Structure 1
Amino acid sequence: MEINYPAKLKAISLHPPYAYAIIRRLKHEEYRSKPTKRKGWILIHASKSTASDDCFQQYGINPANIKRGAIIGACKIISCRQAGFDNYAYQLSEAFEFRIPIDCAGSQSIFWGATNEDRKVVFTLASEQIRSYLLK
């Protein structure tokens, strides 16, 4: 496989209810304690955490039908606004769910990239799904 993904492409890990709510366009902001100047496409990674599983019902998502520990979709960050003291809202748009989730370990950092050979393959596969989405 030829490695081919945008150098600036990053991923963000979220607890599964929120990751799925974003890619299904049920959640249009992601709140974080640090602002971002990042704009453009980001990959959405559903972590393996079960800490927020009680929130699936809030979004009408069946947790039996989701994939954990995988990049499950993508969206664009279009802006960031302060939403309170030490609270920032990343404004999201054009979210979509990948036809095929891509198994991948996440990261604790807010945005993470293709820092090893396995992740370079994952980011290439994810980029192919974004390109397919854009061609529709």
Structure 2
Amino acid sequence: MTRSFIQLWTRAEFEVWKSAPNSPLIYAASNQFKQRGITKGDQLFIVACFADALHLMGCLKVEIGTLNAVEAKNLLPKDAHTWAKDYVFHDRSLNTRMRFDLHVSVSVLTSFRFADGTNPKFKGDGFEFKPDPQTFRGVRELSSNTAINLAKLLGGKESPKNEVTPVESEKIRALSIRQPYAERILRGDKKIEYRTWPTTHRGKIYIYAAKTPVQLPGHEDPLDPLKLPRGVLVGTVEIVDCKKGEKYFEWALRNPVRFDPPRTFNAFPQAGYFYPFGKP
């Protein structure tokens, strides 16, 4: 099974490669490839994080690896510095050129997940979404959905598994959730939705950000709900379980996906579930 990883390069490395004309993607070096179990058939997304943006430079399809410095010597360019313990080599038949103009979009950043289910850290509040370079340090394995989203940014033909097709959209219900809690769900911070009533629904729903915001006493949120989108569909999430808590029913949520931009609809929104594109 193909596994996907991400490696953070420094700004200096970004600038060096950018200064080289038609920079080909040939190899990558690290002290962690062998430790992570990277092997032939895996893919490695190369990024740099600076100026409050995550720069996506390319995707290395591992054809040869992981090799140590001695094994890799004859495959490396003559001017390459053999500073690392591990090396992997790109499938040269793909003739991949490095990218230096591509920023990872907000929609991909906010649905970004590593293989262990954690998400990147951000600096700032609201819609700044300034990625913290520390969260991408080293070599980390990616979730399959995040890998698909990054490949799509690079021009791949794949589309995210969670993308809603036109036919499917008519069958999906929306749940009205006030800001800033709708935003917290999309960021992966809020994994439980508390309701006074149970649900038997399992699967994907739209998140409708209600027009009226709320800040519950004792649960103040630094996100300003007045600066967040309201009165629109802001994304989707899956309901995977529902159980009775001490005071409320607890709906377990997973796999949030943001719409960028948010989507509008003609139906009249309800306080609970409703079909934004007409009942199937």
Confirm whether residue 42 of structure 1 aligns to residue 205 of structure 2. Answer: yes
Number of paired residues?
113
Superposed displacement of residue 94, structure 1: 0.3
C-alpha root-mean-square deviation of aligned residues, in Å?
A: 2.8
Superposed displacement of residue 53, structure 1: 8.1
Aligned to 2:180: 17
Normalized per residue, the structure richer in helix is 1
Instruction: Assess if the C-alpha contact under 8 Å between 2:205 and 2:238 holds in 1.
Output: yes
What TM-score, normalized to structure 2? Answer: 0.36
Aligned to 2:260: 99
Please list every run of 5 or more consecutive structure 1 residues that lacks an aligned counterpart in the other structure.
124-136
Superposed displacement of residue 5, structure 1: 2.1
Confirm whether residue 66 of structure 1 aligns to residue 255 of structure 2. Answer: no
Structure 1 residues 12 and 72, CA gap change in structure 2 (3 angstroms): same
Aligned to 1:88: 249
Take 1:98 and 1:6, find their aligned partners in 2: how far apart are those partners? 13
What TM-score, normalized to structure 1? Answer: 0.70
Aligned to 2:52: none
Structure 1 residues 99 and 53, CA gap change in structure 2 (3 angstroms): farther
Please list every run of 5 or more consecutive structure 2 residues that lacks an aligned counterpart in the other structure.
1-165
Partner-residue secondary structure (3-state), 2:274: coil
Take 1:78 and 1:53, find their aligned partners in 2: how far apart are those partners? 25
Larger radius of gyration: 2
Partner-residue secondary structure (3-state), 1:84: coil
Amino-acid identity (%): 25
Take 1:102 and 1:56, find their aligned partners in 2: how far apart are those partners? 28
Match of 1:51 among 214, 230, 233: 214
Superposed displacement of residue 24, structure 1: 1.1
Instruction: Assess if the C-alpha contact under 8 Å between 1:9 and 1:113 holds in 2.
Output: yes
Cα deviation, 1:87-131, whole Å, max 9, x if unaligned, reads 1000000012111101245212x21114xxxx24xx9xxxxxxxx
- Code of the residue aligned with 2:203 in structure 1: it is G
Instruction: Assess if the C-alpha contact under 8 Å between 1:56 and 1:63 holds in 2.
Output: no
Structure 1 residues 54 and 67, CA gap change in structure 2 (3 angstroms): farther
Instruction: Assess if the C-alpha contact under 8 Å between 2:234 and 2:258 holds in 1.
Output: yes
Structure 1 residues 31 and 78, CA gap change in structure 2 (3 angstroms): same
- Higher RCO (Cα < 8 Å, 6 or more apart): 1
Instruction: Assess if the C-alpha contact under 8 Å between 2:202 and 2:239 holds in 1.
Output: yes
